[in-house]
Every structure is written in C-alpha cells, then in structure tokens.
Amino acid sequence: MSEKAYRVGVVGAGMVGDRLVAGLEERHFPLEELRIMATSARKQEMAGRQRDVIAASPEAFDGLDIALFAGTEGESGASVRFGWQAADKGVFVVDNGGDFRMDARVPLVVPEVNAEAMRRHSGFVANPNCSTVQMVMVLAPLHGAASLRRVVVSTYQAVGGTGRSGVQALAEQRKAAAHGGPMDLGPYPHAIYDNVIPQVGGLNEHFPGYYSEEVKMIRETRKILGRPDLPITATCVRVPVANGHSEAINAEFERQLSAEEAREILSRFPGVVVVDDPAASRYPLAADAGGQDAVFVGRIREDPSSPNALDMWCVSDNLLKGAALNAVQIAEKAVEMGLI
C-alpha cells in the first residue's frame, strides 16, 4: 500500500456503509480523512463507535481523493445524484450500486479477476452485484484453464442482501409466527419466514420472465469475463437466512476439466477457499461464511450429463466480498496501480 494518505468519503450509512467504514479501518487503508455522508446530518454508530455523518451534497465531495458509494440505486440514489459530479472534481468513485455497471465508460471490477480494466476508468468504477462477484471468483480461474462454454446458476440469497429492512422482516415474521400474530411482509411480495421466494428484484422488459437480479448476473458476468456472448442463465431465490449467499453453479467448458484439476486450480486462486469433503459432510455453509472475506467453494463434481461440465456449490458473505470488501479492494488496487 502507498505511503500517501487519502481523503476518503463513504456515501451511505446502512449495512453496506457500515461495512465500508469497518473495512477501511480493519484493512488499515491509509486514511488522512474519513468523511461519512448520508441523506441527513446526524451522529450514528458505525463500525463500533459513534461517528459524525454529514448530509450528502455536491460540495460534500470537495477535497476528497476517493468516494465509496454504498449502493442505493435509482434516480434518488446517491451515485446517480452525485457520482459523476464527484468524478468531475477528480474524486475516484467506486459505486456499489447497479446504475452504471453496464455503462461503457465504467469498468466493472473484481480485483482478483480483472483489475486491469481499471486502467480505462473515467474516474468511476463499479462494484458488481453481490451474487455476481462470488460466482466470477470461482468461474474466472476455471475459465482461464478451460474456456467457458455455458453457465447455469441458481442462487439462494440471504435477506441481508435487501438491507436492514430484509433482516428486520425475517426477525419480525419469526416472532409473529411464534405468537400467531399477523405478518408484515416487509420488502418482499410474500412472507420470507419459513419460505423461499423465487423473485429477487423486478421483472426485466428485455429478458421476458427474468427478474432483475438474474439479468444482472447474466450481463455482469459477460462484462467482467470479457465474453459478451457467453451463454448463461440464472434463477435467483430469496431464502430465510440472515447473511450469506449460496449458489449452485453448473459450468460447461471447451475441454474436459476433472473435479480434481478444478480443486487444484481453485485452491491456488487468491480469495477462494476450497471446502470439499462430501464423505465427511464438509462443504461451504452460509452459517460459516459470515464475517469471512473469502469465497468458499465445494461439492465440486463432474456432471454425468455432459463430459465437459462441472457442478459446484459456492458461498460468500454478501456484505463483504459481495459488496463492501470488494469496493475497498478496488480502492486498494487502484492505489497499488498508481491510478489515484
């Protein structure tokens, strides 16, 4: 890491914002100043202590070197309102939201996979969707060895991916079920307690029948891997787990790749941990991934229906590598590459 210290802004004071602050401090990012912004000024506990939070505005970015946006999306979201204005001021912007991921000006980056894409930045870099990040961490090294032909993925996504409202909904519905009371659905179209919901996001007009999370996984994976025509399909499901996304991945390659070779390749890739002893019931679990930086992969096995395909089970903390950690790593890598 550079000996220079940087003035860093964190935009957003929710769950991801909290983890961004914690990540910067825990990883000893060289901070000259840490400026936290939200919709309104207040004092708030973040990363274990009370912090001053200022109201986000164009002027609030003056003098910053880096701004990490936590990811509120849409026209009212901070990155749409302030992101490009900050970049025009010379601030290096890392956006965790989805508004600009597919923008041709914006590199979409997982540092272990495609850090070189940042050399083409225009002051603005996007953090991929949480479910995309953990999948490409597993696919990229295998793609480098055997070239992907097709990907089929089904996700089992924690309520923490919806933010505090999702976590609160699950907790309150659990209490309501225990006492026989009415259930507030919270941010979901159905109760999430004791249920699985095959809908994450809204329907996408360009992909009939697909919800937005599924489309994100398709389009973002293609962009990150530099394969715009890669055949890929996704089914994204919300499950009653507080934190930690799980994915069942079927990947077909141009050549046969044995499970043993895949384990060896993945075990050498930075940020990936192989947990794969099915005889002993050892495989990645969402309950074990919480608070861990790594992406965990197991149940690696050869698909008997296709000679060149593998099945895998992948788990990661969606708030860390799926969001805040990856954003901090982008900033770290940009410093290392001399881009800031």
- What residues act catalytically? 130, 245
Instruction: Pick the closest to residue 161 from 188, 124, 193 (CA basis).
Output: 188
What is the distance between the terminal CA atoms of the chain, rounded to a whole angstrom?
A: 12
Angle at 42 between CA 41 and CA 46, to 5 degrees: 115
* Strands 49-55, 42-46: pairing kind: antiparallel
Sheet strands (E) in 158-243: 232-238
Instruction: Pick the closest to residue 83 from 119, 107, 58 (CA basis).
Output: 58
The secondary element (H helix, E strand) that includes residue 213 is helix 212-225
Angle at 220 between CA 322 and CA 325, to 5 degrees: 20
CB 93 within 8 A of CB 86: yes
The secondary element (H helix, E strand) that includes residue 54 is strand 49-55
Angle between helices 130-146 and 259-267 (to 10 degrees): 120
CB 247 within 8 A of CB 239: no
Look at residue 215 and give its three-state secondary structure.
Answer: helix
Tokens standing for 265? 């390749």
Tokens standing for 239? 């499950």
* Alpha-carbon distance values, 105 to 113, 123, 219, 293 (Å): 19, 9, 16, 29
* Rounded Cα distance, 192 and 173, in Å: 8
